[in-house]
Amino acid sequence: MFSLISRPRSSVATPHDTFGLIDSLFSDWWSARPTSSLVSRARLDVAERNGAYEVRADLPGAKKDAIEVEIDGACVSISAKAESRSEKKDGETVLYSERTQESFARSFELPQAVDPEAASAKFEDGVLTLTLPKKDAPKTSKGVQIQ
């Protein structure tokens, strides 16, 4: 998986190979961890249209109030939480019930800075659509004197 120091890996650590024992300890620990993440990566589509970037992020189960979008220059961060719970109805006996909680997060950098004041967002059917107008680059040019 990874080594604490850069050195050739051997398949079996010997008792005199302290670093090999440490490496095998961490390799065993990392490989035994579950593969599921606590935070899911939101699936994205990014397109460029009419001087703006259009970002579509799949956030299934999220509510509009639980979504946050941050823009810093060309960097965009999206995070959301989704919860689902079953409700018990009167006269009903619950034999089995499941609840799910999921967090989504995604940060990415666009090729050009965007104008956060002109940005807009729409959330419909589990899909967040961001329209991020590009920030106008300064149109001044300056000659440089060569010495």
Q: Percentage of residues in the chain with pLDDT exceeding 70?
A: 65
Predicted confidence (pLDDT) per residue in 84-132, tens digit: 776 666 677 777 777 778 888 889 999 999 999 999 999 999 999 999 9
Predicted confidence (pLDDT) per residue in 31-44, tens digit: 544 444 556 777 89
In total, the chain counts a number of residues equal to 147
Lookup result for tokens 């990415």: 108
Residue 125, Ramachandran bin (φ over 0: left; ψ between -120 and 50: alpha; else beta): left
